């Protein structure tokens, strides 16, 4: 496997991970395979892993995170500002991982490979070669 293929694989994997999580919290996935299954359960989990955030702000945090995940996923899929959105994805995933670790323990972070996903996003942000990216196709 060459660098171009690895970069595309990382872009797709991180993007689909974000989109799958969003689909889960919006109730799109079947209940048999869902983690949250609906928005209310997602907000309850958001509250659980962010005990330092006032409860009144949890819905806003849920919306911000969901919008960020959708925007990051789309930008990574189409290759728009890949290095920037990969770095932002790495930080977002690292925040998730640390929040999960400090609130519910390390096992869930490992089971859901959140540190691995964060590391993959940071690795993607370091890949400077352009391949099948909107930036390269439009601004060349």
61 touches 53 (CB < 8 A): yes
Is the pLDDT confidence value at 90 over 90?
yes
Is the pLDDT confidence value at 138 over 70?
no
List helix spans (H) across 37-113.
39-49, 58-78, 82-104, 106-111
In this predicted structure, what is the pLDDT of residue 4?
A: 82
d(CA 101, CA 96) in angstroms, rounded, equals 8
For the chain, what are the domain ranges? 3-138
121 touches 93 (CB < 8 A): yes
pTM recorded for the entire structure: 0.91
pLDDT band at 139 (very low <50, low <70, confident <90, very high): low
Q: Which residue has the tokens 């005990």?
A: 51
Tens digit of each residue's pLDDT (9 = 90 or more) over 50-63: 999 999 999 999 99
d(CA 36, CA 51) in angstroms, rounded, equals 18
d(CA 134, CA 140) in angstroms, rounded, equals 10
């Amino acid at each position: 496997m060459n660098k171009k293929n690895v970069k595309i694989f990382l872009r797709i994997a991180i993007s689909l991970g974000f989109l799958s999580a969003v689909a889960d919290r919006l109730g799109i996935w079947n209940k048999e395979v869902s983690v949250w299954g609906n928005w209310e359960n997602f907000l309850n989990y958001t509250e659980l892993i962010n005990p330092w955030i006032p409860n009144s702000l949890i819905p806003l945090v849920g919306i911000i995170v969901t919008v960020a995940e959708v925007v990051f996923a789309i930008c990574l899929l189409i290759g728009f500002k890949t290095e920037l959105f990969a770095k932002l994805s790495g930080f977002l995933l690292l925040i998730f991982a640390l929040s999960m670790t400090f609130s519910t323990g390390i096992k869930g972070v490992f089971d859901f490979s959140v540190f691995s996903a964060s590391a993959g996003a940071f690795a993607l942000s370091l890949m400077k070669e352009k391949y099948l990216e909107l930036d390269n196709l439009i601004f060349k």
